[in-house]
Amino acid sequence: MIKKFIDNAGWPRIIIALFLLGLFIAAPFVGVNVWTSLNNTLVRFGMNGVMVLAMIPMVQAGCGLNFGLPLGIIAGLLGATLSLEWNTEIMSRLLDLGAKYNITWLNEIFVNTYREPLGFASAIVIAIPVAAVLGWLYGKLLNRVKGDEMMIATYVGFSSVSFMCIAWLLLPYKHPTMVWGYAGRGLRTTISVEGYWLHVLNDALAIKINDNFTIPTGMILFFLFMAVIVWIFMRTKTGTAMTAVGSNPEFARASGVNVDKMRTISVVMSTILGAIGIIVYEQSFGFIQLYMGPFYMALPAVASILLGGASVNKASILNVIVGTFLFQGILTMTPSVINGYLQTDMSEVIRLIVSNGMILYALTRKVRAGR
């Protein structure tokens, strides 16, 4: 019974889970509030969940881990910034319209009650087609480099970030809260979403347990909703074909499946999920981070899913949930507990050591899983 559980869960996860538990137990003794820590862990889980979920389609289709996640993130950033850019204009148009025809409920819905959720939704709606186009091109590229997907993907991610560094400066954004104050053009490095859609998911249906612990119900539900969509998709005819392509492309081809098409679809899905993921992240984080912001975003997501027990060619929703929780848990707890113990502030250093160390660990595991 216990042995079977260990076999199913795998030693790495058990060890890390025990370590995490240990940190929670040690926390009160060094003056760290357990409730706050739990809250942080849960919030970070919700923030990052969708981006980790973005790994699944590509892994299942045999395209490896999506190190090119920054591409999807860029699509998400475009969606987010454009939604902010157009927000005021659309709003004033709607107000005009409402005034003209005397429709008060229009005002009520768009401007007052649902302004924030609609803004958030519009960011996603704008981001999805952008992500689909970028993902389609990215998929075409990956079909040409079969066998080396992960390395090429890494460079796709890095180079797209660098390209966008130029683009953010040149794109004709006008909104005063987003552009540099002194020049009047070029986007700032961080843009606050306060007053737009800050915490729309976090605060939706939030359950306050005590001063330090609030369950971000909306965000968790949104993650679960996305997870269910992916789960259902992987069970459709296309999803099944995709899994078969990842498992044995030759078999899939001999069964009449268009291998390249399936791979492209998986990359498009992965990119779209990445775009949605970053918007969820931003609404909780409070800022849109441009320029080098997306640069290292793929690594925590990759590390999470590997930590959750996925291999380079098999991943499940459970891997995502377990992996994200463990990774974000360790990432929250280690700095605060160790900080409290050492009585100095070196949380950022510890965070870097821990997160990169875990990626290193997860990637060495990947090599073994690959064989």
Partner 1 sequence: MSDNNTSPLLELSHVGKEYYGNRVLSDISFSIDSGEIIGLVGENGAGKSTLLNILFGMPVIASTGGYEGSIHIDGKSVHFTSPNQALAAGIGMVHQEFSLIPGFTAAENILLNREVLNGSLMSYVFSERVSTLDREAMHNRANAAIHTLGVNINPDMVVSEMPVGYKQFIEIAREIDRKNTRLLFLDEPTAVLTETEAEILLTALKKLAKSGIAIVFISHRLSEIKELCSRVVVLRDGKLITDQPSEELTTRQIASLMVGRQNTRREEHRVILEKASDVNEVLSPQPEKKKKPKPALRVEHLWVDMPGETVRDVSFEVQKGEIFGIGGLAGHGKLGIPNGIMGLYPAGGKVRLFGKRLTLNRPRAALSRKMAFVSEDRRGVGLLLDEPLDWNITFTAMQMQGRFLIGIPYIFQMRNELAMRSEAKKFIDSLEIKCTGPSQKAGELSGGNQQKVCLAKAFVLRPNILLICEPTRGIDIGAKNLVLDTLKEYNKENGTTIIITSSELEELRSVCDRVAIVDEGRIAGILPASSPAEEFGMLMMGQNKKNNDDEEGEESA
Residues that bind partner 1 (CB under 8 A): 232, 235-237, 240-241, 243-244, 247-248, 250-251, 253-258, 313-314
Shortest distance (Å) from residue 247 CB to partner 1: 5
* Smallest distance from partner 1 to CB 258, Å: 8
Q: Which CB, 107 or 311, lies closer to partner 1?
A: 311
Helix axes 298-307, 11-26, angle to 10 degrees: 110
The Cα–Cα gap between 130 and 256 comes to 30
| 236 versus 364: smaller Cβ distance to partner 1 | 236
Residue 329 CA, distance from chain mean position? 16
- Spatial neighbors of 152 by CB under 8 A, at least 6 apart, are 141, 142, 145
Distance in Å, CB of 225 to partner 1, minimum: 17
The residue among 104 and 236 lying less far from partner 1, judged by its C-beta, is 236
Q: From CA 215, how far away is CA 8, in angstroms rounded? A: 29
For tokens 């998929």, name the residue: 139
Question: In the complex with partner 1, which residue's Cβ is closer, 176 or 256?
Answer: 256
CA distance 201 to 39: 15
Q: From the CB of 235, what's the least distance to partner 1, in Å?
A: 5
323-340 exposure pattern, b = at least 16 Cβ within 10 A, e = fewer: bbbbbbbbbbbbbbbbbb
Contact 67, 153 (CB under 8 A): yes
Find the largest Cα–Cα distance for the chain.
Answer: 71
Q: Closer to partner 1 at the Cβ: 164 or 245?
A: 245
- Closest CB 118 distance from partner 1, rounded Å: 27
* C-beta of 155 vs 251, nearer to partner 1: 251
* CB 257, min distance to partner 1, A: 6
